[in-house]
Structure 1
């Protein structure tokens, strides 16, 4: 139930223009009120009357209608808050008073359902005008209270073209980094809810996502140790049972998920099994980096911000080969012996990226060659597609019929992993509940990583073409008649989250058979799913 959460702030609702100070953090009161964004009904009202702008105030389902009567009228004062009816939420008073304009009157409209109180502004408030741009939908962000409330600040550095470090943040806390991330999302046309979590389990997260679907939810971002959904598949790889963490449970909002023995572990999935939203996870315990989870998240969000807004100046240009002032996108496709077919990553060659460095020679792909390739090849990579046998904390390579060595945690942590985005065809490599899991080291444990798709169990992605065609917004000639089947909008690149969602929905068209369950139910996206595979699209530009 949502009452196990402390709802922090839907900060997309009130963001001041440059001439006004930002609104303070608006915590919920003991009855769960929180300012929210424009509902479909509110948008309709706004369209009908240019003189009225509306906000929605959402309370818990178990609240009494009488509670809302306390909000019938408030008025802005000059220098102090003037209340017409008694209401006991100091944070709400501060939110209305601090950036107030003289004589701007607010009144509640109770004609709508009891859980949707509409506050009508008689004058257009510029603080919420930006919400009209939120055409891309709602994103829920979940973060544990202890992380969000921490006052500890961190320094953040990136690596420059010459290999030296450059300090980009002198003092920044996780709360500041998250709120800046929220503003970055708003610049790209989203509106955002941030939930502070204190207790609860995976069902509480799911209930919140389902509740927000009616408000245009497109995805959720889990930061830190958010409650995890576990799934047990009795007939998994080689017919053996397997238990693993999954985010697919959060992505499928209307399927029927069962827990037959009521032990908190899901064990069945029926009904409409296709996902409706994407989920991204920014988390992981990586003690090998000698950094706390909070510090790793701050560094990731700072790196993400600079990639979006100042990448041409301050992000490590050594990752790119420049031509005419624009970056040249190139990728690494490293296929070990069992996956040597070049076609697995063919969309990286001229579609998703300009060029592909393909390493798939069974005589050459091994531990030493891989570490050298990701570390010392001049220029680095925009994208890396790795196919090798793995565990959560190792890669194993073959050289024809002989072992080709293994990469362990120490080697991977000490090695510079110079790529932004990854497709990790590595069994269990994205098992984020394991300390020092490799997908976490690639994405969060270095100065370059921004996103990775991988699996928390035995299995990985298949049907790569569907994923890459949606990311690139293009089709190879032999796939030109598959745009509808793959849900590809030719000429329109998708975010990593949307491409991941479309890939999953493609697989779910006819349900999931036994093999597909053990291959794909552990698939997760790590990092920010709203990033595009294109330099400029991440800065709020139109596609």
Structure 2
């Protein structure tokens, strides 16, 4: 009997798809408000008439750079980088570098942009015009004052008038008095400490903002509150709980408000510790804090602050006149520019500061910008009485108003799978694997991925080593040799952050994985051998 040998090759492919912050006591008292007991004072709530900032889909913000600064190439480069950072943050950041001669011209520009672009906020880089406001004394509440008023630039539909005397200082504000936009100033021109020029200070500051947005400048997400003696009852729950305002965004916090603790040595001890936010309530002039200790005053000067260069990123100063940048080396300017880490200061150009701060901090807890949080606070805060209305007119932001106090720089790993090689423990015939992955959750959205394919299970992918794709699937077009291969992937978000932890997926390629002989029954008097084989010869 003759035997006939038949070689039959079959290719079987299974696809699995998977989704996968030495004067007399009387003078200091006159310059800082002490809230009245709430039970004796009516509360009036003013509601917003506009909600435009909440509705903006792609918020338009404006970067104004003083034309003298714009001639500096180094400043130009830093501003362009800053503009890109804002765009990456989700804004439509527009640049304006023409000269502006007056606060009125500046306001008219803002009104035009608000009408045509739905403008959300503005940052002024360099020395720009400012408006002044005067209010008369309100006995038992606060003294008569003339002060810088940036509310003039942000309330775009209110009626501002210079009535009595006509002296270039506004003294009447009526109509719709809430702001429509928010504003911050980056202007170290009143700073005399240190050896840096204005241009160098601005460049250094913008690089701090960039480093923060890239995750290269950070502090533990915790806050320090320091409330001096005259407001102890507003901090310990008797009348209010000022430190508790921060709870929504800073559950981790050190609160110092007992009289036995609020003295200079304690301030010095804590002001150099590693906190992200500092909320300070202290009697102050534009250049000096005054802490009350046993009826005496301990002072903390701007020079001391400059030498300490506190490491906080953000400040909220309930400190009269602290943000009065007309005064050389004001407290807010010193906090902002003395340190290699300080990014923004909220404070007042006059007697006053923030009350009803719970709403402000609740906005920060929702990852709103500091500018938006102050804007929203102006819309929603409750006045202790109408007499206190102008108490808040000096509230300002020094620094970048588009910062949030919690920058998300963590990019999570994508979840990887393979429709052609679904089980990493098995061997597959196909030499051109396909990979799919799910987009990881990210506060700033994912814009793409970097990948590598090699035979090292520990490879870490970076921008420099990886290949960029903006899809969530990939087919390898080059045939792989037999063996074990690893696909490595990291994601990139819109801030330019790259995942620190690489995702890996293992595939096994083996073209001779299956060899089986099946002996069939006799066919036409012959014994037929049927071989299922891939890429190899059957052995008898």
TM-score bucket of the superposed structures, by smaller chain? 0.5 to 0.7
Q: Corresponding residue for 2:184?
A: 280
The DSSP-based 3-state class of the residue aligned with 1:419 is: coil
Q: 2:111 aligns with which of 210, 226, 229?
A: 210
Question: What is the CA distance between 1:537 and its match in structure 2?
Answer: 7.2
Alignment size in residue pairs:
350
- The equivalent residue for 1:464 is 357
What value does the CA root-mean-square deviation take over the aligned residues? 2.3
Unaligned runs of 5+ in 1: 1-133, 152-172, 321-328, 474-492
Tell me how far apart the structure 2 counterparts of residues 246 and 254 of structure 1 sit (CA, whole Å). 15
Any conservation in 1 of the 2:309–2:338 contact (CA below 8 Å)? no
What is the DSSP-based 3-state SS (H/G/I as helix, E as strand, rest coil) of the residue aligned with 2:299?
strand
Residue 227 (str. 1) matches residue 129 (str. 2): yes
Aligned to 2:258: 361
Question: Which residue does 2:224 correspond to in 1?
Answer: 332
- Counterpart in 2 of 1:50? none
Deviations 1:129-148 (A, max 9, x none): xxxxx933211222221111
1:237 Cα deviation after fit: 6.8
- CA deviation string 1:511-530 (max 9, x = no partner): 9833221x200000111111
Partner of 1:505: 379
Higher deviation after alignment, 533-542 or 366-375: 533-542
The answer as to whether partners of 2:309 and 2:335 remain within 8 angstroms in 1 is no
* TM-score in terms of structure 2 length: 0.62
Q: Deviations over 1:110-137 (max 9, x none)?
A: xxxxxxxxxxxxxxxxxxxxxxxx9332
Asked if 1:259 corresponds to 2:162, the answer is yes
Cα deviation code 1:432-483 (max 9, x no counterpart): 121101111112221111111100000111001111112113xxxxxxxxxx
Corresponding position: 1:146 with 2:68: yes
The separation in 2 between residues aligned to 1:463 and 1:498, in whole angstroms, is 16
Q: Distance in 1 between matches of 2:77 and 2:207?
A: 10
8 Å CA contact 2:100, 2:106 repeated in 1: no
Asked if structure 1 preserves the Cα contact closer than 8 Å seen for 2:228 and 2:281, the reply is yes
Q: Deviations over 1:481-526 (max 9, x none)?
A: xxxxxxxxxxxx3111111101001148x99833221x20000011
SS in 2 for 1:288: coil
After superposition, residues 120-135 of structure 1 pair within 5 angstroms as 135=57
Task: Decide which of 399, 419, 424 is 1:527's aligned counterpart.
Answer: 399
| Mapped partners of 1:538, 1:202: distance in 2 | 41
Give me the whole-angstrom Cα distance separating, in 2, the residues matched to 1:222 and 1:450: 15
Secondary structure of 2:97 counterpart = strand
- The structure-2 alpha-carbon separation of the partners of 1:230 and 1:336, relative to structure 1 and needing over 3 Å to count, comes to same
Distance in 2 of aligned mates of 1:257 and 1:537: 43
* Match in the other structure for 2:278: 384
Task: Determine whether 1:494 maps to 2:395.
Answer: no
Does structure 1 retain, via aligned residues, the 8 Å contact 2:127–2:187?
yes
Does 1:198 pair with 2:99?
yes
How much has 1:224 moved relative to structure 2? 1.5
* Equivalent in the alignment of 2:387: 514
The answer as to whether partners of 1:532 and 1:538 remain within 8 angstroms in 2 is: no
Give 3-state SS (helix, strand or coil) of 1:452's partner: strand
SS in 2 for 1:427: coil
| Cα distance, 1:440–1:247 mapped onto 2, change above 3 Å | same
Match of 1:401 in 2: 295
Match of 1:189 among 79, 90, 95: 90
Q: Does the CA-based 8 Å contact 1:150-1:174 persist in structure 2?
A: yes
Going by fraction, where is helix more abundant, 1 or 2? 1
Give the Cα–Cα distance (whole angstroms) in 1 for the partners of residues 317 and 410 of structure 2. Answer: 23
Give the deviation of 1:246 after TM superposition.
1.3
Cα deviation, residue 531, structure 1:
1.3
Q: Which has the higher contact order (CA 8 A, sep 6+)?
A: 2
1:344 correspondence with 2:242: yes
Deviation by residue 1:209-236 (Cα, 9 ceiling, x = unmatched): 0000121100111111101111111235
Structure 2 gap ranges (5+) = 1-55, 412-441, 446-540
| Matched-pair contact (CA < 8 Å) for 1:245–1:456 | yes
Distance 1:145 1:542 in 2: 32
Residue 263 (structure 1) shift: 2.8
Structure 1 residue 455 corresponds to structure 2 residue 348? yes
Separation in structure 2 between the aligned mates of residue 194 and residue 421 of structure 1, nearest angstrom: 25
- Partners of 2:211 and 2:444 in 1: how far apart? 19
Secondary structure of 2:271 counterpart? helix
Given the two structures, how large is their TM-score scaled by the length of structure 1?
Answer: 0.61
